[in-house]
A and B are shown apart, each in its own frame.
Chain A
């Protein structure tokens, strides 16, 4: 059973922030083909129970490696970096100002004359910053500067939340 290994090993990938999506997807499908409970559907209840746990573990590993944010978190976890850097980041004045400015724009979206254009602009702004943070993380992580890498993750989290909020707002606007 490969389930005692780390997620990267489970999929036969190197432990790195950069992940080859094609290889990840392929390995994921192969593992599910083998361990999914449907493969034990004609078997005993115990077989099915075990398969449910294994398939759930594979899904969890896949979800983690698929998402840049979760992947970054997980890399730090593997590196034994503990604690949470949110408080440190929230003391980063420049970053906070930027967050506040973005949030204000989001809040004013409601009254904006071209809300959809503004939403698209906001989204691409945030996406650029997200990718920026990804690069920062990759850089610091590779250099072994886990403290800075941790800050980058905290920032990624902020931007991920903003993107989520924008998705919700878009649906809201469409329903109006």
Chain B
């Protein structure tokens, strides 16, 4: 299949002097890159020393930012508190999230003010992750402007597919702070697919297998006549190449009978040896590992035994995404490999095995995301004709609203194509209620407490009405960048409240995966909780209905025994509803009460029919029938 990198057709692209300057930026955790389309081909823009990567590192002194990139990394050991790395992990996160990172962080934090995002305490004062990211973006922007000979007109910035609303918003804010016009936030796997992509006229279904150091992403895309449609994306963000190293190190420790309680320094040494061995085994059949006086041989077969369980986990996620996408394995036309950890030979073998075809991996896995972003930027800025390339992405995590009983009602399901707008109507549950709290959550679980809280706001000024008569329409809108805005409106009075969801913190990749996995393993539990809540509502409804009916004509239609029996059965139901945690038990009781009231219902129906027919002559009836 031909490469997409050459998509401009002769005569179609505007004259060179009319071309606008657009770039794709891969703002990475460890390294960042910028790329642009030149003469129809996406290329990485190198720095003045000819280096492609900008290490995502910044060094601050009391005058402010002193340097970024390689230069900043040189301060890492001598001045760790003022050298910021891995800033991406803090984007859109709250102080509480950061505390949960669980490892020793070299930084000191100050709680953020209104944004809620923690700031790094440096010699230059408190620096927020958004500010730091903005500096990295600005540095890449300067590099591109130098190379392209003028100001940039716009940029596409990539984000992990699993980034939630808060993380996307923080990324966009950083770009705005750097003075960059964001044409689009683009999901990293989608960018990779574009880079590997196919002629604008090509067709096919593509799986993007993205295995980084700590995360795994899988996206299923379909390309039809220039439209790239993301069908599903999923993954396991607590799984990556670092786990491979750990598995090898554990084996090494067991083989050499090294005490499990070793010093951290020795632990790091073992991991480094493991990593080196892993890399070597992509080139050679076997390698010798030496720890102190001892040494042993690791060959490819043994490595396979160690890595296979981990790779199998990624393939399970692939199967799930295929199911979500409604695509069968043999319908996949191409598999694209992204991320440094896909350099491991065993990964390539297993992926080829699973999909039944050799994966594409001829582009540098570190560069492919930036290259794809550059292609998309070139299209969005208008350097291409309108029919070229269109991307339809999906939302990675469901968006919902809190309803009665702490349950989540999903308003937009994950893997829904964006942009999307969905409205749902709610009502008041108390007489004279004048305000309604709207709690926006993101996640797959059924209980609010298990999902990420994105925002809360209140719709006030609802005119006092009886319970259930207000009509409150809540609208969720997600734009092409995956950013959410929510509006609530009381339909009879027109009272409105609207909020751009700018939460103070968000989920990190690991948390997203954990939530997804929990949502699968807790599906049972959730279902039980939900089923119970539903049965309770059902019980309330039937109790109320029957009591109301008895009040109207119970005494006319039922004899004393029947009435007593029915009353007793609803009292029992009422009691069970308050005490049981077993939804099936409650459902059975509801059913038996419903059955017990059938005679009553039938008599009421007859009475109603008689009443309706009373006074009509037989002729009239026949005429109507």
Contacts and interface: CB of A to CB of B under 8 A. Distances in A.
24 contacts: A32-B227, A32-B390, A33-B227, A33-B387, A36-B390, A36-B392, A37-B479, A37-B480, A38-B183, A38-B184, A41-B183, A41-B380, A42-B154, A42-B380, A48-B479, A52-B477, A52-B480, A53-B421, A59-B417, A59-B419, A167-B323, A168-B523, A172-B523, A175-B316
10 tightest CB-CB pairs across the interface, nearest first?
A41-B380, A56-B421, A56-B419, A29-B227, A41-B183, A37-B480, A52-B419, A55-B419, A52-B479, A171-B520
Interface string B44-63: 00000000000000000000
Interface of A: 25-26, 29, 32-34, 36-39, 41-42, 48, 52-53, 55-57, 59-60, 62-63, 167-172, 174-175
A47 to B, nearest CB: 13
Interface string B581-625: 000000000000000000000000000000000000000000000
Residue of A53, A63, A171 ringed by the most chain B CB atoms within 10 A: A171
Contacts of A39: 386, 390
A55 B390 contact: no
Contacts of B154: 41-42
A29 B480 contact: no
Contacts of A33: 226-227, 386-387, 390
B385 to A, nearest CB: 11
A45 to B, nearest CB: 11
Interface string B344-380: 0000000000000000000000000000000000011
Contacts of B382: 42
B328 interface: no
Contact of A29 (B224, B421, B521): B224
Contacts of A169: 523
Interface in B389-410: 390-392
B390 A172 contact: no
A27 to B, nearest CB: 12
Contacts of B422: 60
A48 B297 CA distance: 60
Nearest to A49: B479
Interface in B306-321: 316, 319-320
B392 A175 contact: no
B496 interface: no
A63 B390 CA distance: 18
Contacts of B420: 56, 59-60
A174 B323 CA distance: 13
B224 A36 contact: no
Nearest to B422: A60
A25 B419 CA distance: 17
Chain B interface helix/strand/loop/mixed: mixed
Contacts of A25: 224
Given A37-B480, A42-B20, A56-B419, 12 more contacts: A26-B225, A29-B225, A29-B227, A38-B184, A38-B380, A38-B391, A41-B381, A42-B183, A52-B480, A59-B417, A169-B523, A172-B523
A146 B568 CA distance: 40
A57 B154 CA distance: 27
B443 to A, nearest CB: 15
A41 B153 contact: no
A174 B480 contact: no
Contacts of A55: 419, 480
A63 B416 CA distance: 9
A42 B382 CA distance: 7
B17 interface: no
B397 to A, nearest CB: 16
Contact of A37 (B226, B419, B421): B419
Contacts of B421: 53, 56-57, 60
B480 A172 contact: no
Interface in B493-523: 517, 520-521, 523
A56 B477 contact: yes
A28 B85 CA distance: 44
A48 B417 CA distance: 17
Contacts of A62: 417
A167 B325 CA distance: 13
Nearest to A57: B421
A171 B479 CA distance: 30
Contacts of B183: 38, 41-42
Contact of A38 (B224, B323, B480, B523): B480
Nearest to B521: A175
Nearest to A107: B584
A175 B380 contact: no
A38 B381 contact: no
Contacts of A175: 316, 517, 520-521
Interface in B207-251: 224-227
Contacts of A41: 154, 183-184, 380-381
Contacts of A48: 479
Nearest to A171: B520
Contacts of B523: 168-169, 171-172
Nearest to B22: A42
Contacts of A172: 520-521, 523-524
Contacts of A29: 224-225, 227, 390
A169 B524 CA distance: 8
A171 B522 CA distance: 11
Contact of B520 (A38, A59, A60, A168): A168
Contacts of A37: 419, 479-480
Contacts of A170: 323
Contacts of B379: 38
A172 B523 CA distance: 8
Nearest to B227: A29
Interface in B448-493: 477, 479-480
A63 B413 CA distance: 12
B155 to A, nearest CB: 11
With most chain A CB atoms within 10 A of its CB, the pick from B225, B419, B480 is B419
B185 to A, nearest CB: 11
B398 to A, nearest CB: 13
Interface string B318-339: 0110010000000000000000
For B20, B416, B523, the residue with the greatest tally of chain A CB atoms inside 10 Å of its CB is B523
A25 B382 CA distance: 25
Contacts of A59: 416-420
Contacts of B225: 26, 29
A37 B420 CA distance: 12
Nearest to B523: A168
Nearest to B225: A29
B153 A38 contact: no
A170 B316 CA distance: 12
Contacts of A174: 316, 319
Nearest to B316: A174
B4 to A, nearest CB: 16
A44 to B, nearest CB: 12
Nearest to B380: A41
